[in-house]
Amino acid sequence: MTLLSSALVFSLLGYLSGSLPFSIWITRLFKGVDVRDSGSGHATTTNTIRQAGFGPGALVLILDLAKGFLPIWLALRYAPAIWIVPLTAACVVIGHCWPLFAQFRGGMGLACAGGSLLAAYPLSFLIAAAVLVVLVLALRHPARASIFTGIAAAPALWLSGLHGIEFWIAVAAGIIIALRFLVDWNRQYRGELWLDREKH
């Protein structure tokens, strides 16, 4: 297998793993509703907790961590080049945000990014989790805290002295999470402008 074909295989593996919409499936199983139809409108752990309760939300969190963990675990062991690992992590987050199996309407990507960090180096996962806790307490808004954690994780790892593959995984995942945030913000901003025009 050539380097390019290996990169394509692991990228596809990451995307398909990320595309597994556990929050949608589990909320539908427990409550018979689409998790994206209310709350934040995203297929996330926090939105699952809001609509289906803590137990289903905890199950979604574990499964979302797992779908980030497994492709990175495999890439670390079998990919022929180290740069394929952060590429795989980026594709996992892309799959979670724009899932093939859920009309390309998914979540924000933080949990599967966390699973990727956990596979690479557990300490990096704990540092990212600590950043999340601090931001939740500071912002008192779990969704916003999740977005900013995805963006801030890489700088936090660098400042903690972690400059290896876990840092590049955080960079790759953080870029996609930031893009997801910008897409949402732009859509909302255009919507507000449209409403303002309608009022006038």
Does the pLDDT value for residue 164 go beyond 60? yes
CA atoms within 13 A on the CB side of 146: 21
Q: What was the pLDDT predicted at 39? A: 75
Q: What was the pLDDT predicted at 20? A: 97
Tokens 């137990």 identify what position? 55
Q: For residue 16, what pLDDT band results from cuts at 50, 70 and 90? A: very high
Structure tokens at 60: 């979604």
Q: What was the pLDDT predicted at 187? A: 62
Count of CB atoms within 10 A of residue 194's CB? 10
pTM of the model: 0.89
The better pLDDT of the pair 140, 66 is held by 66
Does the pLDDT value for residue 194 go beyond 60? no
d(CA 37, CA 128): 29
Going by C-alpha positions, the residue among 95, 89, 84, 97 that lies closest to residue 36 is 97
Q: Helix, strand, or coil here: 34?
A: coil
Q: What was the pLDDT predicted at 144? A: 80
pLDDT tens per residue across span 28-71: 999 999 999 887 788 888 899 989 999 999 999 999 999 999 99
Does the pLDDT value for residue 195 go beyond 70? no
Q: For residue 197, what pLDDT band results from cuts at 50, 70 and 90? A: very low
